[in-house]
Structure 1
Amino acid sequence: MNSGIGLVEYDAINIGFDNSSLDAPIPRNLIFTSQNGVKGFFTQYPEFQTRELNIYCVGDKTKLEIEKNGYSVVASANSAEELAHMIVNEFNEKQFLYLCGSKRREELPDLLKKQNISIQELEVYTTTLNPKKFNRNFEGILFFSPSGVQSYCKKNDLNLSVAFCIGPTTAAEAKKHTQNIIIANKPSIENVIVQAVKKYKK
């Protein structure tokens, strides 16, 4: 708004934290690709607050959420695919648990399994779409997840709007609806906003 840009904001998705269970013992090496994964895990498994854990994650905000729970991060990357390659190259002898949501992407577990790296998955939150019809066209739309794109496009067209995307996986979903896409230089909410301001500042 300081840049003379009008903003409409709404929650395109709903996040729920459900009790989940894992039959096997939980490995010491954990992978998180979102803040919600961190929140879901430590909400449902508070007993692990006292365990020594090696944590690998995607994104600065996820890393901050982990550090808020008193842990340091062994390795972090800007995307799940980048983190998977890092694990393959540097940590391939370890066993991992991937803490994910109900709409998690396939890239990371698929890459690790192809390299015969042991990975279990535990769903610690659910993502449901919250579609809403807008009777207007927006010059730009800011998307922070593939699910956000799916939700918006259920009842709206992108038409001539520019889709500002937080990262390549979100952009891949947006490409199903438009080629008019700008991807943030760094996967953060702030950087998505910076891209929009750069384009539309009056």
Structure 2
Amino acid sequence: MQPDKKVLCTRVLDAQFVSKAAVHHIQIDALPFIEIQKLHTQQFKDQVQQLALQNISVAFTSVNSVESVGQIVNGKPNWKICCIGGVTKDAVVKYFGEEAILVTGKNASVLSRKIIETKNIKEVIFFCGDQRLDDLPETLRTNNIRVQEVIAYHTLQTPHDVQEDYDAVMFFSPTAAHSFFSSNTVRTDVPLFSIGKTTTATIHSYCTNEVITSEWPGQENLVERVVEYFSE
């Protein structure tokens, strides 16, 4: 039996979410358009280990940065951790424990507001990627909170020439959108699915297609949006 809909996802998905979509006769083909390279330099390791000795506030908005840092730190540092929810929070709990989390938010904008609302944070160490978004650091700096950015991973574009005619395309980051549209176009009637308003804005810079946006991070939320859309 052929699926009713075929969807391209521009990153690898967990098998459980591919199976969930298949139950609803939606076939998701995953083809990664970016590559994550975590830092392994001695300089980065020394910097993280030095920060691990300090009583500081740190921020994570990506599971990649949590994993990159967590694999270096031995034990649980005396950090007050601010992070977005979903898999990023899950990774923070895995490496640093639930008790280390000070505040969480569904995205970087909400997280920055919650950090400001704590009133007693004057400086934040922001572990991020080299393609990080501006939302958190700019909002905090505007509110007189110092931000020290520590690059924990690099994001590389890996474009592919897509020959298949898909019924929808899923995007999880602005970089993936740039990578996809550098080699491909889509029919104007194809809906596009996006995590976050910045990714959506990037997509709209390339086309006028309908974009269905999930403000919550994570694979499950975006797959649910796809299923809901095609089940209506």
Q: Do the two structures share a fold, i.e. TM-score over 0.5? A: yes
Tell me the TM-score normalised to structure 1 length. 0.90
The residue aligned with 1:199 is 229
Tell me the TM-score normalised to structure 2 length. 0.79
2:89 & 2:145 partners in 1: Cα distance?
A: 23
Query: Quick check: 1:135 aligned with 2:156?
Result: no
The residue aligned with 2:6 is none
Cα distance, 1:158 vs. partner? 3.0
Unaligned runs of 5+ in 1: none
1:138 & 1:50 partners in 2: Cα distance?
A: 46
Q: Secondary structure of the residue that 2:32 maps to in structure 1?
A: coil
The residue aligned with 1:190 is 220
Cα distance, 1:92 vs. partner? 4.8
The residue aligned with 2:175 is 147
Q: Partner letter of residue 128 of structure 2?
A: C
Q: State the identity %.
A: 25
Check the 8 A contact 1:159/1:178 in 2, yes or no: no
1:91 & 1:22 partners in 2: Cα distance?
A: 27
Check the 8 A contact 1:144/1:170 in 2, yes or no: yes
Q: How many residue pairs were aligned?
A: 200
1:14 & 1:192 partners in 2: Cα distance?
A: 20
The residue aligned with 2:191 is 162
1:50 & 1:193 partners in 2: Cα distance?
A: 34
Cα distance, 1:69 vs. partner? 1.0
The residue aligned with 1:3 is 24
1:46 & 1:145 partners in 2: Cα distance?
A: 27
Q: Partner letter of residue 199 of structure 1?
A: Y
Check the 8 A contact 1:29/1:95 in 2, yes or no: yes
Unaligned runs of 5+ in 2: 1-21
Q: Partner letter of residue 166 of structure 2?
A: F
C-alpha spacing 1:191/1:50, structure 2 compared with 1 (3 Å): closer
Deviates more, 1:181-190 or 1:140-149: 181-190
Cα distance, 1:129 vs. partner? 0.7
Query: Quick check: 1:38 aligned with 2:59?
Result: no
The residue aligned with 2:204 is 175
Q: Partner letter of residue 205 of structure 2?
A: K
The residue aligned with 2:33 is 12
Q: Secondary structure of the residue that 1:69 maps to in structure 2?
A: helix
**Root mean square deviation, CA, Å:** 2.1
Q: Secondary structure of the residue that 1:194 maps to in structure 2?
A: helix
Q: Partner letter of residue 57 of structure 1?
A: C
Cα distance, 1:185 vs. partner? 5.5
The residue aligned with 2:137 is 109
Q: Note the alpha carbon deviations across 1:143-186, whole angstroms, 9 max, x for none.
A: 11111111111111133221111222221211212341001263
Check the 8 A contact 1:29/1:56 in 2, yes or no: yes
